[in-house]
């Protein structure tokens, strides 16, 4: 009786382990194919939220070591991630956002594009600008490599 019980228990454990391995492989496959879109969507959401809330901290962790920044106030060039933080912080304080909506563009391999309309107020006057952003994948992480508000 004990032998029969042990044989049944071992068979159940082997079947469960085999099914678990198959599920893990399936999970890895799904995670790797769909994860790219999910991570980018989260990053785009953080960027949109940071701009709407005038809080560069919400997306500054995604800056590449030297992102390219181009703004309507004449600032343009490659800056360190720390410089980019302060440049954008100053810009968003001067060009106060009235409304902003970021649309996720397309992804081509290791590059993803986003665009939006940046409605702002400066010195009591409301105006609009186009917003463009490029994310590039390096290793397993996505970074902001270009940000343009023109």
* Beta carbons of 54 and 97 less than 8 angstroms apart: yes
Q: What pTM was estimated for this model as a whole?
A: 0.74
Helix residue ranges, H only, 77-129: 81-94
In the chain, where are the structural domains located? 2-149
Residue 24 CA from chain centroid, whole number: 26
Instruction: Kindly report, residue by residue over 28-78, the tens digit of the pLDDT.
Output: 444 454 555 578 889 999 999 999 999 999 999 999 999 999 999 999 999
Tell which CATH classification among 3.40.190.100, 3.30.429.10, 3.10.450.50, 2.60.40.10 matches the domain 2-149. 3.10.450.50
């Amino acid at each position: 009786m004990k032998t029969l019980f042990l044989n049944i228990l071992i068979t159940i454990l082997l079947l469960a382990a085999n099914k678990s391995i198959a599920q893990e492989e399936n999970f890895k496959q799904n995670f790797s194919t769909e994860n790219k879109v999910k991570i980018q969507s989260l990053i785009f959401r953080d960027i949109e939220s940071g701009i709407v809330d005038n809080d560069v901290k919400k997306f500054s962790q995604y800056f590449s070591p030297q992102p390219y920044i181009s703004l309507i106030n004449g600032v343009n060039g490659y800056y360190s991630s720390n410089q980019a933080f302060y440049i954008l912080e100053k810009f968003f304080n001067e060009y106060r956002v009235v409304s902003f909506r970021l649309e996720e563009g397309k992804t081509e391999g290791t590059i993803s594009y986003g665009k939006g309309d940046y409605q702002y107020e400066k010195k009591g006057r409301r105006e609009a600008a186009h917003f463009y952003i490029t994310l590039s994948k390096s290793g397993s992480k996505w970074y902001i490599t270009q940000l343009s508000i023109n």
